[in-house]
Structure 1
């Protein structure tokens, strides 16, 4: 076996046909205990593309972690050719405490590409970008909604990239949402390295939803099948509906504070003026109808029972791509 068939990652050598569980850590707790970030690697005996599957950049987004866990537990990560690298929880620090951020108060997804001598979050970002990401031919990164807001399953990509467009449609989530890469995000840093990345959003923090999980797992299987690396023992189902491509959107914000209840289901197509929910007070004297400002699809709903004036309560499409 030539050296080009050896994967050199995090100080380890993983040959074709081998499995490995390696880890990286950049710091110890104040108790001097190390916190390892497990990296699960499966390599076929046959060379092929390398897919990196990640979740848990935000420690409270457990639904993404569950998707990657199932990929590993079911053996979907064992390719018939090529390599699959899984990192179910990147922000282990936050995952332990069910916290979105790192112990240093920073959002890991706003410090990429990081620095070897920077903050704790910045060092993790730097190690991920320099020692793992360069091996990937494609990245699938899994997230959920935050602050009680439930996201419909969706793939987020930039406009004008035919390769990402094709991959997003193959993934088969109900929505493709075209959005710019956020500065210093994992998606932005990977894109600058010319490594294609699909960002999956679905569900909400502190929650595991079976529909979201199934959508994520099935989407991964479709992508692996498309690349020719899915183990032949797994079947691939077609999406039940065609993807709706959202080019423009707006947040509907609460005009009043109070108790909130949505009456429209997520994924629903609505018309301008349709009642989407109610804002009430605890005393039965106030009832405000939240109405759709335009025709569109509702692809995010705030599930918090108590809201304040200005809170984002619905995300509605304003422009669709044919």
Structure 2
């Protein structure tokens, strides 16, 4: 990094001095009202040179756990003690966020629209601004997602296969499970890889809801990664993370009939092949059918809505070695977070991921 780059960070036509933070608004497009829409970025530019890392939330507008994670991070990062630069984007898809929708008003999915185009659709214009102004300035991105409505994801890190650096970073993050999953055309991870930008994708929680397990896992994980990169000092409170389970294969388990589901298992539970996951019966409880685990593994996501059609995905199970050991580690994480909660808070809301 050159001397000028050490002293200031340029983004969206703004210059952020070393050892400072700044809130930057980058124009996206003009709306039907005639007013401009903006992408908001908080820049922490450290006192010393180092990597540039971005953390993004709400690429899907209703997946707001990342917004809460970034709110916490914004209060904990000190540019005077930072090496390198951190870019926080609390809401990437501002249009979907305002409408409480996964998609943009044109019904396009931002995470299938990268790298975007200045002259393209609303989604394409937003993708172009975010990609050119944020992604291409970084060497690492941490993108935070949740499950869809009425579904919950156990906190898990997803990474591209065959990247040893990402494995180390995912292990440092310390989410309960690491999933090696393929990249999708037009996705942020796919296009970032083409630009040489490594990506960690955190899946945690449920759309349109906050839960402490997801938020605290996200905040602690990002700080661990920054410490692993030498950007911040390692905090003693972040050192005792359990070794995450790793998986490169997962299975969706679907309801064999329509009706009302009564779950026997939930996200984070270890299962063995043949274990009862749920029972689905008719409206009066007639003709109940058992939903059985087809594999040994850990449940990384489940549906919370009990009203189901035949074929609805009820559980997402990752194949892991020693599922009982992984389940015990997850229980210890939940207990530690529950012990730190004020009395009267609701239990963690559990649900599942985008079903394909």
TM-score computed with the length of structure 2 as normaliser: 0.85
Find 2:52's aligned residue among 26, 50, 53: 50
Q: How many residues align structurally?
A: 320
Residue 216 of structure 2 is aligned to residue 214 of structure 1: yes
Residue 192 of structure 2 is aligned to residue 190 of structure 1: yes
Q: Check conservation: 1:76, 1:231, Cα contact below 8 A.
A: no
Find 1:202's aligned residue among 196, 201, 204: 204
Structure 1 or 2: more helix by fraction: 2
Q: Check conservation: 2:280, 2:291, Cα contact below 8 A.
A: yes
> 2:140 and 2:295 mapped to 1: Cα distance?
36
> 2:109 and 2:294 mapped to 1: Cα distance?
33
Find 2:96's aligned residue among 91, 94, 102: 94
Q: Counterpart of 2:37 in 1: which secondary structure?
A: coil
Residue 314 of structure 1 and its aligned partner are, at CA, apart by 0.6
Can you give the 5+ residue segments of structure 1 that lack an aligned partner in the other structure?
A: none
Find 2:132's aligned residue among 130, 133, 151: 130
Residue 285 of structure 2 is aligned to residue 284 of structure 1: yes
Residue 11 of structure 1 and its aligned partner are, at CA, apart by 0.8
Deviant stretches of 4+, over 6 Å: none
Q: Check conservation: 2:274, 2:295, Cα contact below 8 A.
A: yes
> 1:77 and 1:173 mapped to 2: Cα distance?
26
Q: Counterpart of 1:35 in 2: which secondary structure?
A: strand
Q: Check conservation: 1:225, 1:236, Cα contact below 8 A.
A: no
Residue 236 of structure 1 and its aligned partner are, at CA, apart by 2.0
Q: How does 1:265-284 map to 2 (within 5 A)?
A: 265-284=266-285
Partner residue of 2:299? 298
> 2:321 and 2:184 mapped to 1: Cα distance?
21
Can you give the 5+ residue segments of structure 2 that lack an aligned partner in the other structure?
A: 323-356
Partner residue of 1:20? 22
Deviations 1:15-73 (A, max 9, x none): 21222111123223322233322100011221111111111100100112111111113
Residue 304 of structure 1 and its aligned partner are, at CA, apart by 1.3
> 2:81 and 2:104 mapped to 1: Cα distance?
33
Find 1:103's aligned residue among 94, 98, 105: 105
> 2:307 and 2:232 mapped to 1: Cα distance?
44
Find 1:224's aligned residue among 226, 231, 239: 226
CA RMSD, Structure 1 to Structure 2 (Å): 1.9
TM-score computed with the length of structure 1 as normaliser: 0.94
